[in-house]
Every structure is written in structure tokens, then in C-alpha cells.
Structure 1
Amino acid sequence: MDVRSAFTSTFLLLLALWMPLPALASTELYIVYMGEKKHDDPSLVIASHHDVLTSLLGSKDEALKSIVYSYKHGFSGFAAMLTESQAEELSSLLQRARHGEDIIVGVVDSGIWPESRSFDDRGYGPVPARWKGTCETGAEFNASSCNRKIIGVRWYTGGVEADALQGEFMSARDMGGHGTHVASTIAGSPVRNASSGGLAAGVARGGAPRARLAIYKACWGARTRCGGAAILAAIDDATNDGVDVLSLSLGGFEEFAGTLHAVARGIPVVFSGMNDGPAPQTVRNTVPWVITVAATMMDRSFPTVMQLGNNERLVGQSHYSDDAAVNTSEFRMLVHSRRCNNVTQLASANASGNVVLCYEPSDTPFNHPGQKLGSAIDNVKNLGAKGLIFAGYSSNVLDRTDSCNGIMPCVLVDYEIANRIAFYIASTRSPVVRISPAKSVVGDTVLSPRVASFSARGPSAEYPGILKPDIAAPGVSILAAVRNSYQFMSGTSMACPHVSAIIALLKSIHPDWSPAMIKSAIITTGMSSRPRYSINFT
């Protein structure tokens, strides 16, 4: 065996070992040394190796095929079969990015749930000396709620509608979960065995898991309503506190002068494009100096089998999990109501105790994620239904599998499947259905990449000469932290933190790059077959 390369840095050692096997003629065995392990749990160390190889090779399957050994006890590293060019790319990536080490990401949102495992600070060094922020205390949030991961918090109530503050924590603690979900997507520490009721099980982590978080709570209440004056104050404080990136998964904010000054200070600002698609000219947050993010599907789906009384098996999509599955082995009566949004029609269909099939009207496409579906869910639940099969446009229904979130068996289907179910109902006196829990399937290329139907479209109504959104990122059925659990959420709010995480990695590699240079790097590489700066998160 020939040793073909030697020590390259304190973070990376590549040793190429020649293996005279014809099947592996184009690859060689490289040993990758990643230095001191960041986790005591060996499984998390192994998961980090898989993540590194997945980002390099494009899929987890290829990563698992490539890896030969994981070194996870005395140090962190692995041995893998790679081509020379892959080894060079990996060397450059690991030597410099370091998972966003010590980059400070400011998150303006609904606060944070500090006890979540995603914000564990074990293995972190001291808070960066350049940090000038503070940890503002309040209701159920004391100084110990901050740590070396959540390095600072502030909260703002000025200008926020009074009813949005009712029942809220008067602190940076997150009541609704939106801000926690966003923050963990950006910089959550690796968490083993995360799932939503057994769905999407695996290691959950943020895109820049070694970055630090600075939290600015300017949004309040179950509907996550934000105050413009509060947002502006948060941006102003964050600029002075020393954040490296600002992430704002919110809209309807018109006081853009604050973001202009932040960008002028070298701080990239990332906004969600909002969820008013698929109509054109609906995109928001369109000033040219910020990065505006659209939402895409991922290659992960959640097929759910519906068995009809005639033994026909049809497949829809849902988040109906094993944990939520009660009496799934029994058949239930199946009734048909053309429109679940019409309470009178629904009541006459005898929804109580039964599974209801209903349709989204074909002349009114979705204009907001879950808007009409949410109304249907509320109506069938209030009438005592035990399940919902909801039909919509085939291009739309897969975008909203998180709408039911365990309330009941809730399956989304396209019109073709719905019509087959309706025909069965009409052809028998006692139609019944049995709904099985969903399964997690990865690698569905039909779904990805595709812009989600709810994602707002350009061109910008305010600035028609500016192309917006700037970039798209995963925003459908994203699993991330909510309080002490992990839940799916969908929206451009979930896409925005993906891009914020990529910027944290870029800032770690290129601390001297301006916001314009970072924006250019992202939008000019995002359409490649394996984008250099594009990552998918669990």
C-alpha cells in the first residue's frame, strides 16, 4: 500500500491508500481526520461523518456506500472510498467551514425554547469575545436559560397588538414554536432519534450546527404577529450586538431602512418570501440588498395507505403517525361531503364518528398554506369526525401534509384518487375505509426539486425591475425543534433558515466577503446539479 498524502491541517488528514481492485479503479481509500470529537455519544459522531459525506456525494445512500470506517471514540474521523477530486473538495470544505464554528446568527422571530436538546452547549468553547449583546430575563426565562449556544436574547413588546400578548410569556421564551423551529434549523446541535411520531426518524441538526444563536423576540401569540417598531428595534440592537448574519422568517415589514444599514455594516440579511402563492406578484421582502427565499419540496414523502371496503388500496400523503394511530386496524364508515368548508353541507353528510371525503373547490386554488384545509380540519373535528380525506390540485396537496399534525387521520389526495373513492362510496350501501399510519420515504425525485405551490411568486410589485425571490430552499415538511419535541412545519419561514445556515458556513470560510459577494455566491451556484453551497437538513 502506498501512502499518497500526509497531514494537511489540524482539522484534516488525508491518507490515500492504494487498493488494486478493478471495481474500485476510480476511487481510493482516504482517511479523514477531523480532530477532537465534538460529542460524547458515538452515534452522533458517526452521524456527523454521514452528513459530511452526504453533502459531498449528494445522497445518504452514496455516503453509506462510500464509508469504510468511522472513528468515534478517541477522535473524530472516517475512512471512505473517494475519487481524487472528491477528496480535494472534502479537504477544502472541512478545513475551512467547521460547521459554522463561532459564527453568530441573529434570529428575529417569536423567541426560543432554551431547554430543547437542539440548543445543548456541551462541547462549546467560550462565547466569542466580540459579542456585545445581553441575556434579557423575564417570565420563565432567567440568566441560566442562555448558554454557550444561545449566547444572548432580547424581547420587544412596543407596537405589538395587545391581544397578541395575551397568554404570552413576557420574555424571550417561545410560546408558539415558530422561532424555535427556525433557530434549530439554522444552528441546532445534532440530536439523535429525533422524529415526529416516528416519521422522518434520524439525527436532526441545523445547517450550521456549530454556530451561535442570538435571539430577538419581536413576534407574539399563536398567530406569530410581529410589530414593525419592535422588528426595527431588534435589527438595530442586533447590528450593535455583533451578529454575523440576520435571519427573519417574517413578512409585512416595511421599515427596510434598518436592514439597509445592517447590510452596510457587513451583515447579510435573509428574509422569507412569504406564502401567498401561486399567484404572481405576491412575493414580499423584495428590496435589493436582502436575500429573499422561496420554498421548495424535498425528496421525502409520507405515503399513507387507505384500504376501502372492496379491498382496493389507494395511497395519499399524511403525517398520521404510529404514535397517533388509534384503532387503525378497524374500518370506519366513509361519507362524502363536497365541501368541508360548508358546515351545513358537512353536517348533513353525517360526519360524526366517520371518515369524511371532501374536495377543495376546483375554481379556487390555494393561496396560502393550509388556509382552506385548516378550515376543513376545524369543521370536521368540531362535528366529531374521526378522519379526513381531503382532495386538492395534484400540484398543491403534497405541500401541506403538516396541516393536521396528529389531530386525526388526515390524508391529502389529488382529484384522481378522490374520484375513485367517491365512485366507491356511490356504489355501495355501507362504504368503509381503514387508514394506516404514514411511512417515511426518501428519494422521491417526483417531488424534488419543485417550488411549493404556496411559495409567493415574483415579479416584485414594488420593484418590478428586481428579480425576486433570489433563491429557493427546502420549506415543506421540515422537521425541527418545537418546545421539547420535534414537529413538521411548512412555509417560506422554514426555507429562510436553510439559507441563513449556508451563509453562516460561508462566513466561516470567507469572513472578509461582503453581503453582496455572499449573495452572488449563493444565487450563482444554486442551480447546479450538486450546488457547492446547498445543503438539505433532516
Structure 2
Amino acid sequence: MTTTRTVNRAARIVLPGVVAGVLAASALAGSPAHAADEEVPGLHLVTLTGPGTSATPPVTGAPDAQAVLLARQDAVLETIGGPATAYRWTTALNGFAVELTADQVTALESNDDVAAIEANTVRPMAGHVDLSAVRFSRSSDPRASRGAGGSGVVIGFVDSGIAPDSPLFSEVRGLGETRAGFSGTCSPGEGWPASTCNRKVVGAGWWVEGFGPDRIRSSESLSALDVVGHGTQVASVAAGNSDVSVLMNGRTMTSFSGVAPQAKVAPYKACWAAPDPADDGCSTADLVSAIDQATADGVDVLNVAVAGPTTTDTVERALLGAAEADIVVVGAAGNGRSAFAAHASPWVTTVGAARGNTLRGRVSVVGGPAFTGASRSRRQLGPVALVLGADVAADGAPTEDARRCLPGSLDARQVAGRAVACLRGGIGRVDKSEAVALADGVAMVLVNDRPGALVDDFHTVPTVQLSVADGTRLTRWMKRHDRTTVRLAGVGIEKDASEAARWSAPGDDRASLLKPDVVALGEGVLGAVPDAWALFSGTSAASARASGVAALLRAKHGHWSASVVRSVLTTTARPLAGTSTLVQGAGRVRASLPRPGLALDIAPTRYRDALEDVSWEDLNVSSIIMRGGGTTTRRVTNLGTRAEYFSVSARGFVRHRVRTTPVALRLGPGESASVRITVTGGGNPSRFDDGWIVWRGARGSHTRIPVAISR
């Protein structure tokens, strides 16, 4: 049993800047970009031995716990000359951020009170916001939130802030009262007066010392105000108000609602825009500060849409403190198959990305071939003449600009009343359809210029997007015929066979925990951005959906612990056929509230015990990973209000025999029982195998945990 870079409480180590997974998936290219953490010289994160105050509830008459921790920190700082700190942390963990010389680092390595020292690094956000993909005017604020779910629950977002003027974050009727125990405040800043908060946005904070206020973009605001768009989209998907109309050219295209529309939001801004967008990101010192404050404020769910290494670093230790405070912690797995899923600890629900359904459309050439692609338009159009953009260039416009339908490149006299075939690239996809509309065109056929995803965008005119191969065939037909007439029509929905996004970070079969825990929709997700709407992709979009479902569960089952909520998210997920558990975990998070069956609960104190023992082996996690075979135990608890019989079976295994003892249970409400799972056989030990242990309740519930049998 091994745990990657698990740090013993008494250990004295230095953690260098580590490679975080990767940057987010590009919705334009359909594939992820990659980058490593950038180490910021000088600033270090120092964690002292022992937990923060979140792990030790206050005792009447006991000394002030925070004061005791601060005194310990002062004593450690005095041993290296008492340098001024950038941050102090006392809730989620006991530590501080401080500029250190090499000699000071060496001195702290030998200090028995120091558990870990880590260089400050900057990590990318785990999503790509395609600001050019959708440009809608917004509706007026809704008068009431007719959608239900999440009432009173507070979701904290460690991200790039939010745009509070979006109607998705307006104070509307039906939001309910904030749950007792939340003590967050509205920290003011540039463009964010203290009066910004309301009954929907119930708290806000921002931290920039780790990233560096001298390194941010000139358009940034030293406040919780979002200028990147990432944090706004994540928060809107998880908890945006319901029934907000999405308008384009004065026409309602759809109605938007977050997963938990009655939940409250609290942005903790730790991610910043740099002059070069490639340098946007979140420093680990700022991330830990935001997590520490969110834990102190008492959020119910904490969403961290930032990936990172698979080690138990300072950020992960801070998230442990949040879990010890009974907060449901949800983290993005990261984007890119070249790195393993982030947040490889048992106290975080790590979320990978699944593909969504793509709306399909067909371009039918009258008297010729038909081609199927992506199209959000459902209305039939035609017959209508189709022209190549390169053949209808405006006077003085370069042919290449017209080929790609850049604004102003098309001749309205030749385009009016016609459909235009446009090559992808150069500008945003929806900008091309807008250019066609401005030239009085009535439809567009968008042709990929390289292999990549087909996206059912919201376009200004009816549009079908075609692959490179189909676009080439269509173009050849048009060049061989004097006139091409087409019909456009919607033809249903395409469902990907595996549904797992190709770029979602997978788990490591050599690890001691199965990650990611679950997957959720993470490709082409619509959400709010400052002053508009846009699509975004990445495991950040997936984590947002999972956080919304967690809020629904916390609102409906207020007595459930964070551990139980995390277990239910996992055990009720829907497996994706033909997909490895190393990619999907337990499967796709259900969008609606599942029927509660059994839960695998973990006492918060057990996480730290396991961390100190450098072993997750005895933790009652809702998944299993084994090397070759053996026996392990899980303890299940009846979440129902009545006594119930549960039968258990093993499914899906191809190369191993998996047995459970006992094969049936009768449990009263709240009653628990242990089940032994034994794996034998396998023949070739180099072959990977996986499947499921499923408990089926007499009242219709299904509790499912994934099992991976590694080499």
C-alpha cells in the first residue's frame, strides 16, 4: 500500500514546485492544452504539525484554539528571524505563507514543529471559457426562482470570483433562509462594495499576494469581481437562479437554471487574470487562504475548480481541514490524458468530465449527397442556394477572409437569401454565422479545417457544422456543379458510445485510491460570463454540476454528514458502458436526486489518522482498487426510514472472481453491517480488470461501488 507523497505529521520535508496536470480543454480545438505549475520564487507555504481548529471543535472553558496556533506559528517564525508573513492559516490547517531564503528553508527542515514546506506555485483553472462561442443579450432579472432545490445551502467557490450583476445571482423570491452556522462576510474591493452581497450572494473574499498584485491584468479588479469568466460560469452551472431566459437578437433561445437554483453562493477569489491569458491561474498560497476562509465561514459545499498534483500537498491538506469541518469538498480532476487525476485524497470528491449529447442536423444537397453534423437549429430550411464564402468575397476583402467568413468579408449582393459554406478558424464559430447574417444570408454550413469536435453552438442563423471529410466532399460537389441547392433540418441527438471526454484526466492504476470518483457533463456547457453567456469545457464544468447535486442532497437531507453526501454522489452514479473505472470512477453523477439506499460513511477523524499512517487501506471509501487480488472490507449503513433487505452481487468482471460475504443483509434505519469482498483468479496478472459491487434494496434502491483490479 503506497500513498503518493503522503506526509507524516511529524515528518520534515520540503515539497518543490510540482507539475499540476494540465490546462483546460479548448472548446475551439476540442483538445486540451498543457502546462506545468509555475513556481513563484521566494514565497513558501509552511505547514506546522497538527490540525487547524476545524478538526478540534471549541470546548467550553478551554484556551482560545486560534490564539494557541498563532503562538506556535510565532515561535517557529522567531527561529528564523521573525519574517513578516503574507498569510496566516488557523482553521483548515495550521500554517503560514512567508518569503524564505535557502538558509531559512534549511533551518525549518530541522524544526520538529514543521510538517512540510512547499514553494508557492501558480496552477491553471480546470476549464476553458469560450467567450466567442455564444453572444447573447441577457434577460431582465427573474422575479422569482420557480425552480427548486438547494434551499438555504451555501456553496463556496474557490475560483476567479463571480459577476454579481448576472440575473443568475439576483436576489429573488423563493431562495429561502441561509442555513445556521454560516458566518461569511462580504469583503469589499474594486467594483465590489460591501452592499454587493444579497440573499443569493451571501459572502465574498479575495486573495492575491501569492499570485502577485503586480502580475495581474490591467482590467482585473482587486475584489471578488470576475473578469475571466471562469468562476461565474462554474457558479452559474452549480447554483444559478432558475428560469432565466437566454436571448439572442431579441428571441428567447432557451431557459437557463443551475443544478441547485435555490442554493446560495459565496465566491472566494484566488484565481487571477494575467496580461497574457496563458499565464492566468491560481497560486497555491492564495488557494489555501481561500479554503481556510471558506472553512471558517462554514460553507456547506466547497467547489475547487483547480486541478493539481496527485500528492498530499498543502492545498490538499487545507481541503482535509474543510472535510473535518463537515464540508462536502468537490474538486476538478484536471484535463489531459498525460497526467493523472488530481485531488487523489479520500476527503475530496474528484470529478472527471463526460461528453454531453450533441444535437444533430443534416445538410441535404438537392439531387446529391446528404451530410450529418452538429446543429442546434430544429427548424427545416430550404431548398436554398448554397455558396462558398470564397466565391462571394466583398470588394477589397481577401479571399481567405471570405473563405472563413470573417466580419465584413462577404458581399451582401451575392449572399442575400442564400446559405454560405464557411471554413472554420480565424474567429469564433458563432462570429461566422453573425457575419453571414449581416450579409443577409439565411443559413451557414460550417466546415472544420482540421480534425476536431463538432459543436452544436447557438448560431445567429440556422447552421450545421460538418467534419473535415464531409466538408471536403461537399466542397468538391459545389465546385463540380454550377448551382448547389440544399435543405437543412434537425435530425435528433447523437449520444457518444462511452460518453467520457477524451481529455478528462484518468486515474492511476498504481495508486491506492480509485480516482476520479465520478464524472459529470463537462463539454460545451452553457453558463453565464460577465455581461453575457458562453460555452465552456473542462472538468471545472463537471465539478460544478457535482457541487450542485451535493447541494441538493444537503438541502433535502440536512442530517446527512458530508461523508454520507459524498458516498451517495458516488454510489448512485450511472456507469458508462465500455468505459474503464480509471476514467469514469463510479460513473456519471445523476442530475436528479437519487433514491437513498446504503452509504459508506467515514468519521472525519479517520482521514487524518490514515494520513498519519500513510495508508488509505482501512478507510471506508466508496470504491475499491486492488493489485491482483485479496480481501478488503466495507461497512454500509441503511439510509432509509424502514428496515430493508439488501442483496449484493458482483458484476462486470471478466478476468477475476469477486465474492462478497454475506450475500444479503437486513438492516434497520441507520443500522450498519460489514461486507467482505474477496478477489481471486485472474490468470495473467498483467491484465487490468474492473467491475462493480451492487447492493439492491427491496424498495428499489441501487448502491454501486466500482472495483478496479490493477496489475
| Bigger fraction of residues in strand | 2
1:290 to 348, 358, 381: 348
Q: 1:128 to 1:414 in 2, by over 3 A?
A: same
What amino acid is aligned across from residue 103 of structure 1 in structure 2? V
Cα deviation, residue 378, structure 1? 7.6
Contact kept, 8 Å, 2:352 with 2:504, in 1: the verdict is yes
Quick check: 1:471 aligned with 2:522?
Answer: no
Q: Following the alignment from structure 1 to structure 2, what is the Cα–Cα distance between the partners of residues 431 and 496? A: 49
Cα deviation, residue 505, structure 1? 1.6
Judge which range, 289-298 or 146-155, deviates more. 289-298
Contact kept, 8 Å, 2:149 with 2:552, in 1: the verdict is yes
RMSD of aligned C-alpha atoms? 4.2
Quick check: 1:231 aligned with 2:298?
Answer: no
The aligned residue for residue 114 of structure 1 is: 164
Quick check: 1:452 aligned with 2:501?
Answer: yes
2:467 to 402, 405, 414: 414
Q: Following the alignment from structure 1 to structure 2, what is the Cα–Cα distance between the partners of residues 145 and 237? A: 19
Q: 1:318 to 1:110 in 2, by over 3 A?
A: farther
The aligned residue for residue 221 of structure 2 is: 169
Cα deviation, residue 308, structure 1? 6.1
Deviations 1:474-513 (CA, angstroms, capped at 9, x unpaired): 1222222222433322221111111001111222233343
What amino acid is aligned across from residue 502 of structure 1 in structure 2? V
Q: Following the alignment from structure 1 to structure 2, what is the Cα–Cα distance between the partners of residues 135 and 425? A: 60
The aligned residue for residue 520 of structure 1 is: 567
Quick check: 1:249 aligned with 2:305?
Answer: yes
Contact kept, 8 Å, 1:105 with 1:246, in 2: the verdict is yes
Cα deviation, residue 267, structure 1? 1.2
Cα deviation, residue 401, structure 1? 5.0
The 5 Å alignment of 1:375-394 reads: 377=427, 389-390=447-448
What amino acid is aligned across from residue 329 of structure 2 in structure 1? V
What amino acid is aligned across from residue 131 of structure 1 in structure 2? F
Cα deviation, residue 285, structure 1? 2.9
Q: Following the alignment from structure 2 to structure 1, what is the Cα–Cα distance between the partners of residues 424 and 165? A: 30
Quick check: 1:333 aligned with 2:388?
Answer: yes
Deviations 1:372-395 (CA, angstroms, capped at 9, x unpaired): x9976589x99xx978511665xx
Deviations 1:337-378 (CA, angstroms, capped at 9, x unpaired): xxxxxxxxxxxx95221248xxxxxxxxxxxxxxxx997658
Deviations 1:33-68 (CA, angstroms, capped at 9, x unpaired): xxxxxx866xx64xx4xxxxxxxxxxxxxxxxxxxx
Secondary structure of 1:100 counterpart? coil
Contact kept, 8 Å, 1:110 with 1:178, in 2: the verdict is yes
Q: Following the alignment from structure 2 to structure 1, what is the Cα–Cα distance between the partners of residues 449 and 231? A: 31
The 5 Å alignment of 1:93-172 reads: 99-123=149-173, 124-160=175-211, 162-172=214-224
Judge which range, 481-490 or 311-320, deviates more. 311-320
Contact kept, 8 Å, 2:518 with 2:588, in 1: the verdict is no
TM-score (norm 2): 0.49
Q: 1:424 to 1:330 in 2, by over 3 A?
A: closer
Contact kept, 8 Å, 2:155 with 2:263, in 1: the verdict is yes
Quick check: 1:215 aligned with 2:267?
Answer: yes
Q: Following the alignment from structure 1 to structure 2, what is the Cα–Cα distance between the partners of residues 197 and 312? A: 33
Cα deviation, residue 244, structure 1? 0.8
2:372 to 315, 337, 345: 315
Q: Following the alignment from structure 1 to structure 2, what is the Cα–Cα distance between the partners of residues 332 and 205? A: 39
Quick check: 1:240 aligned with 2:293?
Answer: no
Quick check: 1:258 aligned with 2:318?
Answer: yes
Secondary structure of 2:402 counterpart? coil
What amino acid is aligned across from residue 515 of structure 1 in structure 2? A
Query: Identity rate of aligned residues, in percent?
Result: 30
Q: 1:129 to 1:479 in 2, by over 3 A?
A: same
Q: Following the alignment from structure 1 to structure 2, what is the Cα–Cα distance between the partners of residues 294 and 484? A: 28
Cα deviation, residue 185, structure 1? 1.1
Contact kept, 8 Å, 1:302 with 1:319, in 2: the verdict is yes
Cα deviation, residue 121, structure 1? 1.7
Q: Following the alignment from structure 2 to structure 1, what is the Cα–Cα distance between the partners of residues 251 and 519? A: 24
Q: Following the alignment from structure 1 to structure 2, what is the Cα–Cα distance between the partners of residues 291 and 246? A: 10
Cα deviation, residue 239, structure 1? 0.4
Contact kept, 8 Å, 2:154 with 2:178, in 1: the verdict is no
Q: Following the alignment from structure 1 to structure 2, what is the Cα–Cα distance between the partners of residues 492 and 431? A: 45
Cα deviation, residue 181, structure 1? 1.0
Contact kept, 8 Å, 1:154 with 1:217, in 2: the verdict is yes
Deviations 1:184-239 (CA, angstroms, capped at 9, x unpaired): 11111113432567999333111111111111111122554212111110000000
Contact kept, 8 Å, 1:297 with 1:448, in 2: the verdict is no
Q: Which has the larger radius of gyration?
A: 2
Q: Following the alignment from structure 1 to structure 2, what is the Cα–Cα distance between the partners of residues 351 and 433? A: 23
| Bigger fraction of residues in helix | 1
What amino acid is aligned across from residue 102 of structure 1 in structure 2? G
Contact kept, 8 Å, 2:263 with 2:551, in 1: the verdict is yes
Query: Taking CA–CA contacts closer than 8 Å with sequence separation of 6 or more, which of the two structures ends up with the larger relative contact order?
Result: 1
Deviations 1:61-120 (CA, angstroms, capped at 9, x unpaired): xxxxxxxxxxxxxxxxxxxxxxxxxxxxxxxxxxxxx61111111011111111111112
- Number of aligned residues: 398
What amino acid is aligned across from residue 194 of structure 2 in structure 1? A
Gaps of 5+ in 2: 1-141, 392-397, 406-422, 437-443, 577-586, 594-711
Q: 1:178 to 1:374 in 2, by over 3 A?
A: farther
Cα deviation, residue 334, structure 1? 5.4
What amino acid is aligned across from residue 455 of structure 1 in structure 2? S
Secondary structure of 2:373 counterpart? strand
Contact kept, 8 Å, 1:197 with 1:321, in 2: the verdict is no
Cα deviation, residue 309, structure 1? 9.2
Secondary structure of 1:513 counterpart? coil
Q: 1:447 to 1:432 in 2, by over 3 A?
A: same
2:548 to 471, 489, 501: 501
The aligned residue for residue 68 of structure 1 is: none
Contact kept, 8 Å, 1:180 with 1:483, in 2: the verdict is yes
The aligned residue for residue 340 of structure 1 is: none
Secondary structure of 2:551 counterpart? helix
Cα deviation, residue 415, structure 1? 5.0
Gaps of 5+ in 1: 1-38, 49-97, 323-327, 337-348, 357-372
